[in-house]
Amino acid sequence: MSSKDQKQGGGGFFASIASSLSNFGTAMHKSVNGALGIEGLEVINPEGGTEDAEEEAHKGRWKQEDRDSYWRMMQKYIGSDVTSMVTLPVLIFEPMTMLQKMAELMEYSHLLDKADQCEDPYMRLVYTSSWAISVYYAYQRTWKPFNPILGETYELANHGGVTFMSEQVSHHPPMSAGHAENEHFAYDVTSKLKTKFLGNSLDVYPVGRTRVTLKRDGVVIDLVPPPTKVNNLIFGRTWVDSPGEMIMTNLTTGDKVVLYFQPCGWFGAGRYEVDGYVYNAAEEPKILMTGKWNEYMSYQPCDLEGEPQSGTELKEVWRVAEVPPNDKFQYTHFAHKINSLDTAPRKLLASDSRLRPDRYALEKGDLSKAGAEKSSLEERQRAEKRSREAKDQKFIPRWFDMSGEVTPTPWGDLEVYQFNGKYMEHRAAVDSSDATDDDVDVRSIEFNPWQFGNVVSE
């Protein structure tokens, strides 16, 4: 008998009580929504529930017995930063690494092109902030990306003229660095996440630095994103919220945009909503912005009181692209592109995330192999660290250098890494070379983040 049949046909007295309570809750939901005139509005239950858990389990790999085991393991970590101290089961992962997830910001990179081409300094911030918000559609996925192995990389060289490179530059604490550019902009990020595990939820603080340089005028824009909260990690339907302020500052002119991500309230009120203003250096509002971080952003010129100027109208600046229907991992078309070996650049680095055997096995649905490969990679990483320490050697990144700059963030100080340009030289040499018989099938390349032997004696 299937679990669905058991639910419908058995369970005895307690099952009947549970069913009655469920029906009552559903009726109340419809009644309240109807009374408020908001029929069909999604209700978010902060405590989760049996029905939510079953629905989530049927959608993916997360079975109730797995949840119970995971909960027993994780209880001891309540209140801790679990960024890298916990070995997590592969069933909670998506087949993508953090390095690839960083690259998802490039999906709507045309907005940065428009910002560079724009004469209006305030519209520049409209375009750049809409670009920064666009990635949040992808961030609502509730599966966890794989932590990169030290020295692991990800490269994207075939997206609208944009070249992107990211590298895992530190293991403890876990830190990644990324760089992207085309003829209009250069994007640089040092990424370091700080987490706080709260039992059934996880707070994520972006202790990182993101800078965008618009090449035409050399304008530099700094981004401070809001924190993120992952709700109902173990019990209930998992969902993601990012309440708080996003601030983008034009470091060249002093203009800035402040956007407030509304927290999700009862009956789903405010979920996804983003509102704010573009201000000049004197902190006077110039343009109002509004939208939903999972759908669209719009803008309209405003007066000094923040009210829309007469004779103007609200105009859409960004809307999420069409996504694959009923996708197994809730990926966008772009996410599939950056994950695919078919779109990998020629002579792909052996350290690239696409080649990870655990990621690839999970993508193919083989959880057993994915778990074994993940454990093997983690053990090899520990062995490599022991070997380095025995030889008094220190790992040094290949494509990024430590700048020596320590910058404050709202959640702690950050050592900043800078792109050293060597990857551009490498890619230019590869692209200019003739295709020869020694070009191998990318699928035959063995994942090897330790290929460069990039260590120095301390």
What is the pLDDT, as a whole number, of residue 11? 37
Whether 182 is in a domain gets the answer yes
Highest mean pLDDT of the ranges 142-151, 223-232, 416-425: 416-425
- Return the SS3 of 402: strand
Measured CA to CA, the distance from residue 145 to residue 154 in angstroms comes to 14
Measured CA to CA, the distance from residue 150 to residue 362 in angstroms comes to 20
- Give the distance from CA 341 to its chain's centroid: 20
Whether 366 is in a domain gets the answer yes
Is residue 354 predicted with pLDDT exceeding 50?
Answer: yes
For the chain, give the longest Cα–Cα distance: 74
What is the pLDDT, as a whole number, of residue 173? 84
Highest mean pLDDT of the ranges 4-18, 120-134, 262-276: 120-134
Whether 61 is in a domain gets the answer yes
**Per-residue pLDDT tens for 179-204?**
999 999 999 999 987 877 777 777 88
Average pLDDT, the chain: 82
pLDDT band at 24 (very low <50, low <70, confident <90, very high): very low
What is the β-pairing status of strands 244-250 and 256-261? antiparallel
pLDDT band at 15 (very low <50, low <70, confident <90, very high): very low
Enumerate residues 6+ apart whose C-beta is below 8 A from 29: 43
**Per-residue pLDDT tens for 300-351?**
999 999 999 999 999 999 999 999 998 888 899 999 999 999 989 989 999 9
Whether 102 is in a domain gets the answer yes
Whether 73 is in a domain gets the answer yes
**Cis ω before 206 (30° cut-off from 0):** no
What is the pLDDT, as a whole number, of residue 83? 59
Measured CA to CA, the distance from residue 344 to residue 355 in angstroms comes to 10
Whether 276 is in a domain gets the answer no
pLDDT band at 355 (very low <50, low <70, confident <90, very high): very high
Whether 391 is in a domain gets the answer yes
Instruction: Please state, as a whole number, how many other Cβ atoms lie within 10 Å of the Cβ of residue 24.
Output: 10
Percent of the chain at pLDDT exceeding 90: 53
Enumerate residues 6+ apart whose C-beta is below 8 A from 413: 406, 407
Give the closest residue to 137 by CA, choosing from 162, 104, 163. 104
Query: Residue 452's domain spans which residues?
Result: 41-240+336-429+445-457
Whether 54 is in a domain gets the answer yes
Percent of the chain at pLDDT exceeding 70: 78
- The set of long-range contacts for 356-362, using a CB threshold of 8 Å and a minimum separation of 24, is 356/97, 356/146, 356/149, 356/152, 356/447, 357/447, 358/90, 358/146, 359/95, 359/96, 359/97, 359/146, 360/95, 362/90, 362/93, 362/94, 362/95
Query: How many domains does the chain contain in total?
Result: 1
**Per-residue pLDDT tens for 31-40?**
333 333 333 3
What is the pLDDT, as a whole number, of residue 221? 98
What is the pLDDT, as a whole number, of residue 35? 30
Phi, psi for residue 388 in degrees, rounded to 5: -60, -45
**Per-residue pLDDT tens for 162-184?**
999 999 999 888 899 999 999 99
